[in-house]
Structure 1
Amino acid sequence: MGFKALCLGIFCVIFISHIYTPLPVNIEETWKVMALDTIVKTCTFMATCFENIGIMQYEEFISMIFHLDYTQPQSDEYVTVMDTEFLDIPVRLYLPKRKSETARRAVIYVHGGAFCFGSFRQTAFDFLNRWTAKKLDAVVVAVDYRLAPQHHFPAQFEDVLTVVKFFLQPKILSKYRVDPTRICISGDSSGGALAAAVTQQVQNDPGIKHKIKMQALLYPALQAIESYLPSHRENEHGIILTRETAIKLISLYFTKDEALPKAIRRNQYMPLESKHLFKFVNWSILLPEKYRKDHIYTEPILGQASFSLPALMDSRASPLLAKDSQLQKLPLTYLLTCQHDLIRDDGLMYVSRLRNVGVQVAHDHIENGIHGALSYMTSPFYLHLGLKIRDKYISWLDKNL
């Protein structure tokens, strides 16, 4: 019995040391953040173990966890909520009940989840979209796109673009009494990447009559060609999202080939013909000096991969790779970044690139922010940080949309 207890104790110490992440001194609600981080990393650890011993795939286990948080559409005294489809793609509509003499604003929201997980059915996203509809008296359209690895890129992009183009039709805008000049596309994390890519497509497509008035990108993931930015180094073992987890999930977005994550870990996975794209993610130029710190920029090593994945060079997957001529047509932009976030620098570089071509950008940087904070706005794990980000986002929309 004593030997078994000793073994259990050793295992617990090893396990805790494996998942424990020291928190930055400016993090608020320390114990709550620590508990959330432990839960997330424990689930990740279990998913990896199950995959390694052949019980189920990593993504299958994580998806099971996400499904526990799904909600049904429930209307209230302020908003009618319904699930429907736009051209066979699931959407959840939030329609204000208050009578309006004029056409309403509209927000199309794209949820995060690393392209592999999540849904508009998640409690936090349902709460956010319901709050948006109520506070702005706006029609909100939440999109459920196909997920990896069952569906690789560009399926996610195509689904969101299809919904947006369908919604922008004059007859659909008229049906929901939406003002075609007051439409915003929003998204968080991977949803921010999809929102940014779709906005680029819509604004540069002469065949689409109605354009987007603004885009709102909340701690977005905007590129997949450089895997060792300063924020990657500083948050390699970070809160909620680690470098290893990000590599695992971004790889599943493109392929099931295990050669890709191995190459990304070495940051030696891009082909020779991608060299011209690295000027768009050159952090030594595009990052503000305070975020470069003492990090040293080195040229990427190209042409080492044993596979060919042209999708890695596609701006629909990495909106940061869009040419200046494409960016110039983008609308008013709100972009929020978090200091303690693995993908912080994607957003910071996009702010620089948009401003360099004359796009008007409002940028909020949350010094004590962590990735995925919007997912923790509801009981039992709500963070004041998530509510703070929500309020900044809603306030900006209310003033500008």
Structure 2
Amino acid sequence: MGTKSLCLFIASALIAYYIYTPLPENFQDRWKLMLITAEFRTVGHLAGFVEWLGLMHYMEALMLITVVEYVPPTSDENVTVTDTEFSNVPVRLYLPRKQSSGLKRGMVYFHGGGWCVGGTGMKAYDLLSRKTADQLNAVVVSVDYRLAPKYHFPVQFEDAYSVTKFFLQSSVLSQYGVDPNRICVAGDSAGGNLAAAVAQQLLDDPEVKTKLKVQALLYPALQTLDLNLPSYQDNENKPILSKSLMIRFWSEYFTTDSSLREAMASNRHVPAESSHLFQFVNWSNLLPDELKKDHVYTSPVYGSSSLGKKYPGFLDPRAAPLLAEDAKLRGLPLTYVLTCEHDVLRDDGVMYVSRLREAGVQVVHSHAEDAFHGALLFVSSLGDLAVGHRLSNQYMKWLNDNL
């Protein structure tokens, strides 16, 4: 073997080693998913490197994904798309062009990205909103809320809430021909967190007369107390969201102070005086046996009270909707929750389903055994996966049948 051939062989072996990721047997499109995972891992490594050099904050480097994936607001024969503002918050507005005798449905959608990255202009979110507007004959308001690390909680929530409240005004609904009885909030991941928090907050707002018909939560992040749930342990390094990255997202939502992230990583961040909140995230009571597997519930280890005083947001139901009292949950609308087996956030969604059902809320729980975090968005270009199309179609069918 010549020197060039040997070098090529070694380079190919190293690339294959870097790309190869052990995946569960029930995953489809395995090599394509490995390539996608390698791309995300590479961006993460680069973000960590530039942060280490002091050139850029980690999350600002991750935003390069958002920049690369950006598409301008472009109308087509089915949907009119414009960038505008609702209540001084940027939104991307999707108006269906179908001629119909009745009023349209309405949706306020919150994108994912750990409250730190992402945007309405990303190709995946543009496609999803465009599809929703066209197939459901719905006016879709996709919200470009402000992001960490520049902005911390409760700014993201306040942006999400102010847009929703603005849209629910009778004059605005009338302007866009939206049926006030057929409106929902929806979101994925961190966006699912915002959708759940907004739906809860609306129940206590006397100024809002229009009620949501449904809420749709796609693999939502819902609690900050226990970051060592069975799903966090089982899926610590699964695509696309690792345990360490999710903890980084959670901590950055509240502060750039690394002490909170370090405490969250060791699951020692909740002060003893907040111990009563653990009843709302006690997975030994809220998870079915098949998800508990061989895990044994242990009592929480409490952290310094100073973190709770400095950053009370992580104990706030507006940031962690699973911490809401039972009485708050009872008034919530029909709910759709998508969870994925191989996702660190799986148990957040499953526990919320359990608590909502105990509170008498009608819930449809769609659990994908062969899916990972973010799977529903992988429906185009190099990220075109069969599981993405299946989950997207199921979600659209449910909305069509229930909204």
Q: Same fold (TM over 0.5)?
A: yes
Structure 1 residue 41: Cα displacement: 0.8
Aligned to 2:351, which of 339, 345, 349? 349
Structure 1 residue 8: Cα displacement: 12
CA contact (8 A) 1:203 1:212 kept: no
Gaps of 5+ in 1: 1-5
CA distance in structure 1 between the partners assigned to 2:63 and 2:354 by the alignment: 35
SS in 2 for 1:354: helix
SS in 2 for 1:249: helix
Residues 368/143 of structure 1: CA separation in 2 closer, same or farther (3 Å cut): same
After superposition, residues 2-401 of structure 1 pair within 5 angstroms as 21-304=21-304, 307=307, 308-401=310-403
Residues 14/282 of structure 1: CA separation in 2 closer, same or farther (3 Å cut): farther
Q: Given the two structures, how large is their TM-score scaled by the length of structure 2?
A: 0.95
SS in 2 for 1:152: coil
How big is each residue's C-alpha offset from its partner over 1:211-247, in whole Å with a ceiling of 9 and x where there is no partner? 1110000111111111100000001111111111111
Structure 1 residue 86: Cα displacement: 0.6
Moved more, 117-126 or 201-210: 201-210
**Structure 1: which amino acid aligns with 2:83?**
D
Gaps of 5+ in 2: 1-5
Residues 58/303 of structure 1: CA separation in 2 closer, same or farther (3 Å cut): closer
SS in 1 for 2:381: coil
CA distance in structure 1 between the partners assigned to 2:257 and 2:42 by the alignment: 25
**Structure 2: which amino acid aligns with 1:336?**
L
Structure 1 residue 204: Cα displacement: 2.9
CA contact (8 A) 1:268 1:305 kept: no
SS in 2 for 1:389: helix
CA contact (8 A) 2:231 2:344 kept: yes
CA distance in structure 1 between the partners assigned to 2:371 and 2:158 by the alignment: 31
Partner of 1:3: none
CA distance in structure 2 between the partners assigned to 1:270 and 1:20 by the alignment: 37
Structure 1 residue 145: Cα displacement: 0.3
Residues 290/172 of structure 1: CA separation in 2 closer, same or farther (3 Å cut): same
**Structure 2: which amino acid aligns with 1:338?**
C
How big is each residue's C-alpha offset from its partner over 1:113-134, in whole Å with a ceiling of 9 and x where there is no partner? 1100011101011001111111
CA distance in structure 2 between the partners assigned to 1:342 and 1:53 by the alignment: 29
Structure 1 residue 64: Cα displacement: 1.7
SS in 2 for 1:364: strand
Percent identity between matched residues is 51
Structure 1 residue 7: Cα displacement: 12
Partner of 2:3: none
How big is each residue's C-alpha offset from its partner over 1:172-211, in whole Å with a ceiling of 9 and x where there is no partner? 0000010001001110000000000000011232331111
- Measured on the aligned residues, the alpha-carbon RMSD in Å equals 2.2
CA contact (8 A) 1:19 1:41 kept: no
